[in-house]
Amino acid sequence: MSEKSKSDDLDKLGERLSKARNQRVEASDKSKPRGKSMGMAYRLSYELLIAVLVGAYIGWLLDDWFGTKPLFLIVMFFFGMAAGIINVVRTSDQMAEQDKIDAKKNENKSSDKQ
């Protein structure tokens, strides 16, 4: 085998390797988001629901203490809704930030390889 054909073979191998690598990166990008985005959607809805429940429960406890039956329950229910919306906004902010960090990391990784 001459020197020239050897380096040709190596070049071909390099090409095939980089192709396989790219495919792998694509595949991992595709498979990830499904479970992740479902988790995100659930997280936001729990966040909203639980705040309303906690608010209403606090109101119910206050009513029990002061003997003002439905007053605090109703007031705190609405406060709970507000708290829930704040929670959702904050959670989605966190998610957006996390996505940015992840995107940056992926960029660094792919540029490291080249």
Partner 1 sequence: MSHSPLDQFKVKTLFELDIAGFDASFTNSSAFMLAIVLLISFFVIGGMSKASAVPTRWQSMVEMVYEFISSMLHEAAGREARKFFPFIFSLFMFVLFANLMGMIPYTFTVTSHIAVTFTLAAVIFVGVTVLGFINHGMGFLKLFVPTGVPMALMPILIVIEFISYLTRPISLSVRLFANMMAGHTMLKVLAGFVASLGVFGILPIVFITALTGLEIIIAILQAYVFAMLTCIYLNDAYHPSH
Q: Give the binding site for partner 1 (CB under 8 A).
A: 34-36, 38-39, 42-43, 46-47, 50-51, 53-55, 58, 76, 79-80, 82-84, 86-87, 94, 101
Q: Which token pair is 75? A: 């007031």
Minimal CA–CA distance to 82: which of 61, 56, 62? 56
Nearer to partner 1 by C-beta: 1 or 96? 96
Minimum Å gap between C-beta 109 and partner 1 is 13
Helix (H) or strand (E) holding 34: helix 33-66
Which residue lies nearer to partner 1 by CB, 25 or 48?
Answer: 48
Closer to partner 1 by Cβ: residue 22 or 98: 98
Q: How far is the CB of 78 from partner 1 (least distance, A)?
A: 10
Taking phi over 0 as left and psi of -120 to 50 as alpha, with beta for the rest, 50 belongs to alpha
> Are 79 and 55 contacting, i.e. CB atoms less than 8 angstroms apart?
yes
Pick between residue 20 and residue 38 the one whose CB is nearest to partner 1. Answer: 38
Q: Determine if residue 23 is left, alpha or beta; phi over 0 gives left, psi from -120 to 50 gives alpha, anything else beta.
A: alpha
Q: What minimum distance in Å lies between the beta carbon of 54 and partner 1?
A: 5
Helix residue spans in 67-114 (DSSP H): 69-113
CB of 2 to partner 1, least distance (A): 36
